[in-house]
Amino acid sequence: MGLYEARGNINKNLSDLVLRWQSTRSDWSDEVADRFEELYIEPLEMAVRTAVSSLDQAAQVLARVDRDCK
């Protein structure tokens, strides 16, 4: 699996998670749900976005290396 494919998979899975969480929140709306979102969902979302950004940077570096080695 290449970096772009991995990036696409990660983004799709994050989108799926966010949609499922939104669906869950429509039925689960209390302080525990708020805390769960604060402790788990929000940090995970930020970490995934950081990972995707890192994959983009790695892909750019690898593309430069590939061009330089030809």
Residue 58 to residue 30: CA distance in whole angstroms: 41
pTM to 2 decimals?
0.78
Residue 3 to residue 6: CA distance in whole angstroms: 5
Which pLDDT does position 2 carry in this prediction? 82
Chunked into runs of 10 residues, the chain (70 residues) has average pLDDT values of 86 96 97 98 96 91 92
Which pLDDT does position 36 carry in this prediction? 98
Which pLDDT does position 3 carry in this prediction? 81
- Residue written as tokens 């696409």? 8
Q: Show Cβ contacts of residue 48 under 8 Å, excluding neighbours closer than 6 positions.
A: 10, 14
Which pLDDT does position 40 carry in this prediction? 98
